[in-house]
Structure 1
Amino acid sequence: MDDRASLRQVLGLAVPALGVLAAEPLYLLVDTAVVGHLGAVPLGALSVGAIVLAQVSTQLTFLSYGTTARTARLHGAGRRAEAVAEGVQATWLAIALGLVLILAGQLLAAPIANLLAGQGEVADAAVGWLRIALFGTPFILITMAGNGWMRGVQDARRPLRYVLAGNGISAVLCPLFVYGFGWGLEGSAIANVTAQVISAALFLRALRVERVPLRPEPAKMRAQLALGRDLVLRSLAFQACFVSATTVAAHHSTAAVGAHQIVLQLWTFLALVLDSLAIAAQSLVGAALGADDDRRARGLAWQVTGYGFVFGCVLGVVFAALAGVLPHVFTSDASVLGEIPQAWWFFVALQPIAGIVFALDGVLLGAGDAAFLRTATIFAAATGFLPFVWLSFAFDWGLAGIWTGLSLFMLVRLGTVVLRTRSGRWAVPGAVRV
């Protein structure tokens, strides 16, 4: 059997995945552009609120990535009904966790905002945004679980339709709520929740038509949580970095945190654009290992990595060319625009490295090699990002110090995932990884 997938097969999974992955950050970019013209304080509040809300979903990525790893192997072994059943259990977990997080978030919104931004106008505005936006949490998690099982069975088109339906409607509602109805910053939070409700409802309907049992099964949920433990710890390492970065930027100045919000949202957007190839790698590698073809899985790993590098180079060139134009789309505040160049050129230069790292992350996630990714990410955070971020705080290096830390973080990750992939120890065949 050929160890490579056809380009058409890779793109058939990657392009719809790109739409799904890009939809939420693209909506957030629209949200940032709308709120940015309200002034520096609302933009800073959105930065703080958005980073907190991001913790809710990114700490629980096992609902999507872990579910894909498990369903892809079962799909590759020809056991589709069992693969979809993993999606049912992931959805039950999403509902339970989402309800707990709504309650916890309402209680903790104010102290968390004050911790991140310090007491003042930015923190006060962030609390109002957060308390509304948190009601979308269960729907965010249901959508993550739905994406996870559908990617695993190589159904990439329906998730795209479902996510675009929600976010497309909300992108229209956001300026209407913010300016037309005069709701200001809170209007963006209401539009956000609207998107999440619509998308989640469509994913729930998709499970109902699969004709698999919908009752909760504690044994399967416990198995998902075991894989989820490593992915949660990995996500915590990521978020310790990004929360620290936003905190340091917020304490530096209002202009700095506004500029950081704009560049960070662009970074997040392009990270997920590059991650579309990683999603294809997850699905294809998991299916190959489920079919006991570890040789094909290793061939696919390097094939997708090459695509990621080329894609990252193209994105770096495009955003270098847009340096003088794109920031003005998001804000007209002169102080914020003056801070953006300190982060912008780091963001541009990192794109080719990110293309490789994210592709290999997808390969290892598809293989279920979550324990290694957990350890590698914590190591990169502890030796790269966090020291420079807090040195930036101590010595007032501003955004240049923060983004130097991000660069070191990415370089350490690059070394670890390349060495792991070359070792081949991740390519464990079988419908279930032992």
Structure 2
Amino acid sequence: MRLHLDARDREIFRIAVPAFAALVSEPLMLAADTAIVGHLGTTSLAGLAIASTVVQTLVGLCVFLAYGTTASVGRHIGAGDTRGAMLSGMSGVWLAIGIGAAAAVVAAAGASMIVGAFGPTDAVGSEAVSYLVWAAPGIPAMLVVLAATGVLRGMQDLRTPLVVVIAANVVNVALNLVLVYGAGLGIAGAAIGTTIAQLGAAAVLGGIVVRDARRQHAPVRPVRAGVVEAAHAGVALVVRTLTLRAALLIATVVATTLGPDALAAHQVAVTVVSVLVFALDAIAIAGQALTGRSLGAGDIAGTRAATRRMIGWGIASGLLACVGLLVLTPWLPGFFTPDPRVQSLLIGALVVIAVTQPVSGIVFVLDGVLIGAGDGTYLAWAGLVTLAVYAPLAWLVWWLDAGLAWLWIAYAGFMLARMVTLVLRERTDAWLVTGTAR
């Protein structure tokens, strides 16, 4: 049977396919760290679970640098204002540099206190602090990569970020192997390799955005009004992202109470979810870019039609991810750790994660569409509601000492709550605001 793709489908996949490859490559960097560190032992893997959660939280809170910039640049492009698009993009890059520098100082200077808040054993805590201190210098680069990628996505250029991020991943894996095993640096070597790879990616992507801004005669120096506007626009998305990261932090704290084996298995599960999230988020990236552009051009009917198509593709992608993960579940744990106790705990969690994927497909698409529409305020309130649903579920797992699989069942409830809030919003007209500003 031949799959029929109409013009709208082809436009979605023109953005989603390269976005998929670029998005998957980012969590694969963490997956490489997890696999390499995992073979150092369960203590090192548990330490990575805590440290990577901290880094991902700091960086994840700033995902608005990519998402908000994509939507803003896309709206200007849809309205025919290319110079305004690049001004908005450069403001996002400068904001990334400022926030990244501050976050790096906090992570490095407060590493011991931050890790201690998770309540790990001394051995696990020592490994986590070592990774966090060496990963901190790479945080500004990670944020610049987010902002620059957002600019290029808004310009409908998905190829450049793809090439750069794939190159960074190859460098990351090579450096990690050399530094962790060849140089004998252990978990610190994994952090150093990732930092170097991220700095290289930031230099290349940031340079491309500066070049494009100059071509459009947009200022490349920081423009105070533009940076303030970018920061103000990102506040709602920060709240939305904070609720998502809070859910992950809660899960990590609960997993810590279940013991080192459960915490190590949880780290692998989070890594797998990260890969799946970014993979399914490819269509959401198309949603951000296409929604921003079509609303910037005043095309409400086209926005509605594209949204319906993307929801369908989101469900199909979720089903494919579900089947793929179920097939791989018997073998996947052994790739990350040789510890049979950790492998046993991981299998149950992976089955729950797999079953959740069709719901995730809907969630990510609608999340991307509403971000592209600039509907951050609603997403912030919806995030608070879903966190209020998840927190008691996670607490119940801790109170009953129910185990890791039940912790991920609670996560499934979190995703269901997100889907309900997003579907209800999509069925209204409140998010369909046209023009260059939201």
TM-score w.r.t. length of structure 1: 0.97
1:99 deviation in Å?
Answer: 1.2
Where 2:434 maps in the other structure, the secondary structure is: coil
Do the aligned residues in 2 keep the contact of 1:234 with 1:374 (CA within 8 Å)? yes
Do the aligned residues in 2 keep the contact of 1:260 with 1:340 (CA within 8 Å)? yes
Aligned to 1:318: 324
Paired AA for residue 168 in structure 2: G
1:354 deviation in Å?
Answer: 0.4
Do the aligned residues in 1 keep the contact of 2:315 with 2:358 (CA within 8 Å)? yes
Paired AA for residue 23 in structure 1: S
Where 2:436 maps in the other structure, the secondary structure is: coil
Q: Deviations over 1:95-120 (max 9, x none)?
A: 11111112111221111111114341
Aligned to 1:255: 261
Q: Deviations over 1:258-306 (max 9, x none)?
A: 1111111101110110000000111111100000111111111111010
Paired AA for residue 225 in structure 2: A
Deviates more, 1:309-318 or 1:208-217: 208-217
Deviates more, 1:303-312 or 1:106-115: 106-115
For the pair 1:348 / 2:350, whether they are aligned, the reply is no
Percent of residue pairs identical: 37
Paired AA for residue 423 in structure 1: T
Aligned to 1:16: 18
Q: Choose from 402, 407, 428 the match for 1:402.
A: 407
Q: How does 1:189-338 map to 2 (within 5 A)?
A: 189-210=191-212, 211=214, 212-338=218-344
CA distance in 2: counterparts of 1:295 and 1:338, whole angstroms: 50
Do the aligned residues in 2 keep the contact of 1:45 with 1:123 (CA within 8 Å)? yes
CA distance in 1: counterparts of 2:241 and 2:287, whole angstroms: 20
1:135 deviation in Å?
Answer: 0.5
CA distance in 2: counterparts of 1:381 and 1:54, whole angstroms: 18
Paired AA for residue 162 in structure 2: L
Q: 1:193 to 1:300 in 2, by over 3 A?
A: same
Question: Mind listing any 5+ residue stretches in structure 2 that lack a counterpart?
Answer: 1-5
Q: Choose from 415, 419, 424 the match for 1:419.
A: 424
CA distance in 1: counterparts of 2:395 and 2:331, whole angstroms: 31
CA distance in 2: counterparts of 1:230 and 1:264, whole angstroms: 25
Aligned to 2:69: 67
For the pair 1:429 / 2:431, whether they are aligned, the reply is no
CA distance in 2: counterparts of 1:76 and 1:374, whole angstroms: 26
Do the aligned residues in 2 keep the contact of 1:166 with 1:197 (CA within 8 Å)? no
TM-score w.r.t. length of structure 2: 0.96
Q: Deviations over 1:48-106 (max 9, x none)?
A: 11000001111111111111111110011111121111111111111111111121112
1:166 deviation in Å?
Answer: 1.5
1:144 deviation in Å?
Answer: 0.5
Q: Once superposed, which parts of structure 1, at least 4 consecutive aligned residues long, lie more than 4 Å away?
A: none
Do the aligned residues in 2 keep the contact of 1:388 with 1:401 (CA within 8 Å)? no
Aligned to 1:27: 29
1:176 deviation in Å?
Answer: 1.5
1:8 deviation in Å?
Answer: 2.1
Where 1:64 maps in the other structure, the secondary structure is: helix
Paired AA for residue 374 in structure 2: G
Paired AA for residue 431 in structure 1: T
Q: Choose from 396, 406, 411 the match for 1:391.
A: 396
CA distance in 2: counterparts of 1:62 and 1:5, whole angstroms: 29
Do the aligned residues in 2 keep the contact of 1:66 with 1:227 (CA within 8 Å)? yes
Question: Mind listing any 5+ residue stretches in structure 1 that lack a counterpart?
Answer: none
Paired AA for residue 194 in structure 1: I
CA distance in 2: counterparts of 1:135 and 1:222, whole angstroms: 25
Paired AA for residue 422 in structure 1: R
1:5 deviation in Å?
Answer: 4.8
Aligned to 2:3: none
